[in-house]
Amino acid sequence: MIEKIRLYGDEILRKVSKPISKIDDDIRRKGKNLVEYLEKYDEFALSAPQLGYSITMFVLRPIWIEDTTKRKAMVFINPTLLEFEGVQNESEGCLSIPEIFEKVKRAQKVVFKAQNLFGKWKQYTAINLFSRAVQHEYDHLEGILFIDKISTLKRKLLQGKLKKIASTTKDGINIG
Ligand SMILES: [Zn+2]
């Protein structure tokens, strides 16, 4: 089942997600839903809270792999960021904040560990786009959005657009 994407203004996006203590059928179903959403809408990455699940999980498709048949979605459960290195400052957007793109400073490289859907822990070294996506999605699990990381002035300039997104959220109209 494809769930609706939660938009800016929805309070679940501001909650700290709960760690997953047991990977059971319910968690596997939620992971599957996240992956299905990515594939259906041909998106890159998505965190659990964005589909209304306040749990520490995110998914992404390795779009940097040239062979498109090998871009199988990856599921990351209970991710823990271990090391950061370097800086990148690239334009970012968010499915929960449609049509807004701003440059965000992130570490260029991040080392992290996470469990897969079978509960197995694995360590990853992510650079550039992969690294940025991991940091963006990890932030979602902490209730942080990318617009929190831009300058106060830029955020002020976006107030009108953000209010509009938040008001459509209240009416239950999904424009994402
Ligand atoms: Zn996002």
Average pLDDT over residues 141-164: 94
pLDDT score at 174: 41
Distance CA(112)–CA(121), nearest Å, equals 10
Q: Which DSSP symbol is given to 15?
A: S
Interval between CA 137 and ligand 1 midpoint (Å): 6
Given the structure tokens 């990381």, which residue do they identify?
149
Q: Tell me which residues have their CB within 5 A of the ion that is ligand 1.
A: 94
Mean pLDDT estimate for the chain = 92
More confident residue, 144 or 3: 144
Strands (E), 61-139: 74-85, 88-94, 97-106, 109-115, 121-127
Task: Please give the positions annotated as active site.
Answer: 137
More confident residue, 70 or 169: 70
Q: Give tens-digit pLDDT for 11-66.
A: 999 999 999 999 999 999 999 999 999 988 888 999 999 999 999 999 999 888 88
pTM for the model: 0.92
- Is the pLDDT confidence value at 113 over 90? yes
User: Please, what are the domains in the chain?
Assistant: 11-171 (3.90.45.10)
Q: Which residues contact 21 (CB under 8 A, 6 or more apart)?
A: none
Interval between CA 140 and ligand 1 midpoint (Å): 7
Q: Which DSSP symbol is given to 140?
A: H
